[in-house]
Structure 1
């Protein structure tokens, strides 16, 4: 089935959901439900207000590394016959037993950015819990679930919930961020590790957690990240307009780390887009080979 057909089916399905949501909001029961659960669950006592500067940098680096991981992953999936390979030189890297690992340049690029993404993730986790920011993206009350349903109905009915991300995310955002950070990211790391040449486990466990299963998980997580990124970026701009913050209002939170600094946020966002666009073009074996050659041997076979 062609991508255009999938897109058409998706548009029709979305139109149907919007129609259902608009009808639901006209009923007394759903109106009472939304009045009781406006879409935002209360935060725990002591939850921080605002977004610190380090979160803005983490946001950019995570986005940057994820983009290049997806880029290199697509190169792996679409390249039937790699034109170059890299063999690790044990005299230039950490010495290990056994034969040097040989992989395509696309795999090397993918694993290299995987490593940087994991390191960035470790820093993120440490700062997240050290500063209390975890309370903003981890559900701490069962009220998050009816509020998430309420927010979903409000979004689909085109009468969106109030946006106050500087203080508290709506519950649908909380569940999306929690899923991304604590479920999707670990699944991506574990399945990617299973697919790598450095997977150390042998024996029966490999039959349970097979390469086929790991591939399905890894590709599914990639699709989830693509969908999350598309929706996330769309809503950053759309909610700014709908809630009267201006076209670039939310960028002051995510990139400027200030409540009201849309120009600063937009400048940093523009710099980030330029950097990611340049990296998307340059992340190819022909450009990476000179760097890879410093740590191993680059060949065409």
Structure 2
């Protein structure tokens, strides 16, 4: 029990700080999945954007750079923040499972689980006693007074599972496979909001919990917490407890420095624990989304700006009549296709929800060629394992911030078999708009939006991604340290 209590403190601080880093990428909270600009119920930023703004804007401009003092690692490092968050959650769940097992194995659950509704009025009386600056009496034969017992029960058996459930409800792979499950929390934005409120509830509990530890007598409470015996050596308990807290603080200072100084190493190290889980999600689940036209968002955010340069602008002006898509690599039948030839391969229409890695969502209708159909035409070789999508977007010109190179993305070849994996040519019943990827963009509905490459100019099938770009599997993975799997 003592060990799991310490581990819980250790992992929860990691979850808090990394969760704040994730929130900084889109510091706005909604109840509705269409996320209309200006309609958020909570905005943790001074930046404002309008749906009818005359000046084009990208959702990347909504991102905030928060201090490493509160965010892990801070300074606009969404990719690394997600790595820390998803690595930690696995160990936090295991710690919780071990704790629950011990609670029931030792019979300690009698002290945590209320057996009568009288606990509620008794807890209210206990809170009133605290407000009168007095300490309420403990339940006869138990170590807690009523308010403590009820609070511990709610945190352990209700709030913790609630946080896990709302976190899972934000996974694009899970939402795509089980579209109705998202409605349990009012959609992804509802789950995101409730997850944030759950974090606040945990934070409030910790503040009150620490305050009551002090009120009840710090040396005695430290002996109970650290040694598992309120009558134990209080000096030893105080020394061990403060040393443990100092060690946690020092660990956070070191990992924050390391994450910011050695970002690629951090990405690789944490990826060993996070990437396998994401790959399993991506392989197991296929998208079964079927939204109605009434669900289509009135405003669909854009992430990034269209390609810069005269060549792309010229193609856009003439309706992309000169556009050609090259498909090659490890294929038996390399092809070069115009838009008309692409359309001749067949069409699939789908109304699906776009899940941006920043946190915003929007629903739109997409129409295009099933990627599986194109793969059947080019006939991938046995050695082919990945599909690489090259874009006309030079990020050194359209994004900057010290980043460089043409955008590209990769997906495992098996994702092409997903029936809702398409090369989109149309959006909401009209040709694909320039800002959303014209003339051609990828849609993989079990993945986050950064995997859905826009402004595609070429497709290559390869055996390995190590020699493409910087070898991490995509431009965002190379430059911003995102995970290559994007199912959560």
Decide: shared fold, TM above 0.5.
Answer: yes
Secondary structure of the structure 2 residue equivalent to 1:248: helix
Structure 1 CA distance for aligned equivalents of residues 166 and 182 of structure 2: 14
Query: Which residue among 243, 261, 265 is the counterpart of 1:290?
Result: 265
Tell me, yes or no, if the aligned pair for 2:169 and 2:182 is still in contact at 8 Å.
no
Instruction: Give 1:300 deviation, angstroms.
Output: 1.6
Q: 1:173 — aligned with what?
A: 148
Tell me, yes or no, if the aligned pair for 1:65 and 1:116 is still in contact at 8 Å.
yes
Q: 1:281 — aligned with what?
A: 253
Cα 1:142/1:81, change in 2 over 3 Å: closer
Q: 2:6 — aligned with what?
A: 60
Instruction: Give 1:104 deviation, angstroms.
Output: 1.4
For the pair 1:270 / 2:247, whether they are aligned, the reply is: no
Structure 2 CA distance for aligned equivalents of residues 282 and 198 of structure 1: 33
For the pair 1:254 / 2:235, whether they are aligned, the reply is: no
For the pair 1:145 / 2:117, whether they are aligned, the reply is: no
Secondary structure of the structure 2 residue equivalent to 1:119: helix
Instruction: Give 1:194 deviation, angstroms.
Output: 1.9
Instruction: Give 1:111 deviation, angstroms.
Output: 0.8
Query: Which residue among 180, 183, 186 is the counterpart of 2:158?
Result: 183
Instruction: Give 1:152 deviation, angstroms.
Output: 0.9
Secondary structure of the structure 2 residue equivalent to 1:260: coil
Structure 2 CA distance for aligned equivalents of residues 81 and 151 of structure 1: 42
Structure 1 CA distance for aligned equivalents of residues 229 and 178 of structure 2: 53
Tell me, yes or no, if the aligned pair for 1:65 and 1:113 is still in contact at 8 Å.
yes
In structure 1, the gaps of 5 or more residues are 1-54, 83-102, 241-246
Structure 2 CA distance for aligned equivalents of residues 150 and 114 of structure 1: 36
Cα 1:197/1:277, change in 2 over 3 Å: farther
The structure with the largest helix share of the pair is 1
Tell me, yes or no, if the aligned pair for 1:256 and 1:268 is still in contact at 8 Å.
no
* TM-score normalised per structure 2: 0.42
Structure 1 CA distance for aligned equivalents of residues 11 and 88 of structure 2: 6
Secondary structure of the structure 2 residue equivalent to 1:111: helix
* TM-score normalised per structure 1: 0.67
Cα 1:167/1:208, change in 2 over 3 Å: closer
| Range with greater deviation from structure 2 (194-203 or 126-135) | 194-203
Structure 2 CA distance for aligned equivalents of residues 183 and 156 of structure 1: 26
How much is the aligned-residue C-alpha RMSD, in angstroms?
2.5
- Structure having greater relative contact order (Cα 8 Å, sep ≥ 6): 1
Paired residues, number: 221
- Cα deviation per residue 1:143-170 (whole Å; 9 max; x = unaligned)? 3223212211100011221468994210
Q: 2:30 — aligned with what?
A: none
Structure 2 CA distance for aligned equivalents of residues 272 and 187 of structure 1: 28
- Cα deviation per residue 1:42-87 (whole Å; 9 max; x = unaligned)? xxxxxxxxxxxxx1111111111011100111111124279xxxxx
For the pair 1:233 / 2:412, whether they are aligned, the reply is: no
The structure with the largest strand share of the pair is 2
Secondary structure of the structure 2 residue equivalent to 1:142: coil
Instruction: Give 1:299 deviation, angstroms.
Output: 2.4
Query: Which residue among 55, 72, 75 is the counterpart of 2:18?
Result: 72
Structure 2 CA distance for aligned equivalents of residues 111 and 165 of structure 1: 42
In structure 2, the gaps of 5 or more residues are 26-62, 66-77, 276-471, 481-488
Tell me, yes or no, if the aligned pair for 1:191 and 1:217 is still in contact at 8 Å.
yes
- Return structure 1 stretches of 4+ with deviation > 6 angstroms: none
For the pair 1:211 / 2:188, whether they are aligned, the reply is: yes
Q: 1:44 — aligned with what?
A: none
